[in-house]
Amino acid sequence: MNILVTGGAGFIGSNYCRLVLNRRPGDCVVVFDALTYAGNLSTIEDLERNERFRFREGRIEDPGAVRRVLKEHRIEAIVNFAAETHNDRSLLAAGDFLRTNVIGVHVLLDCAREAGVNRFVQVSTDEVYGSIEEGEFTEESPLQPNTPYSASKAAGDLQCRAHFVAYGVPVIVTRGGNTYGAFQYPEKLISFFTTRLMDGKKVPVYGEGNQVREWIHVEDHCSGIDVVLRNGRPGEIYNIGDRNERRNMEIVDVLLDELDKPRELVKHIPDPRKGAHDKRYSMNADKIRALGWEPAVPFDEGLRATIRWYEENEQWWRAICAEPEYQAFAQAFYGPGLGDDL
């Protein structure tokens, strides 16, 4: 099968490419990526030696570019990872999120319909559900997004539903939990805090750090996406979760212990999202488990392996942290005392 992986030079997308190339010897992978701030050729450098791998630069909002890559590589399936994904960034520049996560998804769906693509997987997020105090979200739970980012992802999901119902596009939506692992751009909690703590810099914790997130290792998330691509039912939604909830401060404590850093490096700051900061995420993933999928990486083991990866791959993340855009974002959002010492 010829698979187009949009956003494949990013965190989850690149790991998905590795999984397919390692586990599916009959498949070919084409990465289509705009190489914006979170997409880097260094992230897929190891893949370029594989004869079943190709890279094409382009934006999913560009129908001409999408049509060309679909035709040139005789694409049979699309897995769409291309997205703006950071809640904090969405508060600063919501328009970028709408262009990629809504318009871009619409263009991809239209082009997939025209080309007769056999499968289309839209990779979404648990954040479209909003926050839940007790219990778990199911695939039938209402969408109640609370930030421009999560609202844009919800809109993309609804475009997928509309194209399935109106045109019969064989689209499936997956919604994953908070994902961690190798090659994550250093702006999310685990990657951002790990790289800062390695340099003895302070880390910003919103409030008391009592927000609860459901964590899943990137290898487990990718294996779930692959199961859905091959065995999922078009028109359906599948939650991909690990039943693994942790308070943010619990994660920070592990990072401090593993890196042997003092608690004084934690700086509690006001939450810029205020009422938009979801308190707890939790999903029921029985539906995908019925397809035969199970997570395989225990959280404690996966977290420690991730920390070791950042310790052993400083060249990769230091080059990213040196980029002006990365430093400007930290300055803008975290302010003096944090952003200014990047």
DSSP result, 302-321: HHHHHHHHHHH-HHHHHHHH
On the question of pLDDT at 53 being above 90, the answer is: yes
> What number is the average pLDDT over the span 43-51?
95
Strands 212-217 and 245-247: antiparallel
* Under 8 Å between Cβ of 82 and 104: yes
Q: Is the overall model pTM greater than 0.85, yes or no?
A: yes
Per-residue pLDDT, averaged over 69-83, amounts to 96
- 2-180+215-240: which CATH topology? Rossmann fold (3.40.50)
Contact 78, 119 (CB under 8 A): yes
Q: Of 16, 84, 129, 149, which is the active-site residue?
A: 149
Ramachandran category for residue 237: left, alpha or beta (phi over 0 → left; psi -120 to 50 → alpha): beta
Q: Which fold has domain 189-212+244-278+299-341?
A: UDP-galactose 4-epimerase; domain 1 (3.90.25)
Better-scored residue on pLDDT, 10 or 330: 10
What pLDDT does 163 receive? 98
- Is 37 catalytic? The answer is no
Residue that is written with structure tokens 């390695």 in the block: 198
Q: Which of 157, 159, 160 is nearest to 142 (CA)?
A: 157
Higher pLDDT pick, 118 / 274:
118
Q: What is the DSSP string of 94-110?
A: HHHHHIIIIIIHHHHHH
**127 labelled catalytic:** yes
Q: What is the per-residue pLDDT for 342?
A: 41
Confidence (pLDDT) at 37: 77
329 or 275: which leads in pLDDT = 329
Give me the residue label for tokens 């499968």.
119
Of 33, 61, 84, 126, the active-site residue reads 126
Which DSSP string do the residues of 198-249 spell out, in sequence order? HTT--EEEETTS--EEEEEEHHHHHHHHHHHHHHPPTT-EEEE--S-EEEHH
Burial class (CB in 10 A: 0-12, 13-18, 19+), 177: buried
Distance set, CA 276 to CA 4, 138, 151, 281 (Å): 34, 21, 11, 13
Q: Where are the domains of the chain?
A: 2-180+215-240, 189-212+244-278+299-341
| Packing angle, helices 314-321 and 324-334, rounded to 10 | 70
Confidence of residue 24 (pLDDT cuts 50, 70, 90): very high
69-89 residues labelled b (16+ CB within 10 A) or e (exposed): bbeebebbbbbbbbbbbbbbb
Do β-strands 53-57 and 28-33 pair in parallel, antiparallel, or remain unpaired?
A: parallel
Task: Give the lowest-confidence range in 30-39, 173-182, 254-263.
Answer: 30-39
Give how far Cα 285 sits from Cα of 7, 10, 66, 125, Å.
25, 25, 32, 13
**Mean pLDDT computed over 118-133:** 95
Helices (H), 73-177: 87-92, 94-98, 105-115, 148-167
Identified catalytic residue from 127, 157, 226, 242: 127
Active site residue 149: yes
Query: Percent of the chain beyond pLDDT 90?
Result: 77
Quick check: 284 and 219 in contact, CB under 8 A?
no
- Of 2, 21, 116, 4, give the one whose Cα is nearest residue 56: 4
Lowest mean pLDDT among 183-197, 205-219, 293-307, 314-328: 314-328
Evaluate if residue 341 carries a pLDDT over 80: no
Please give the mean pLDDT across all residues of the chain.
Answer: 92
The label of the residue with tokens 């010897």 reads: 25
Number of Cβ within a 10 Å radius of residue 138: 14
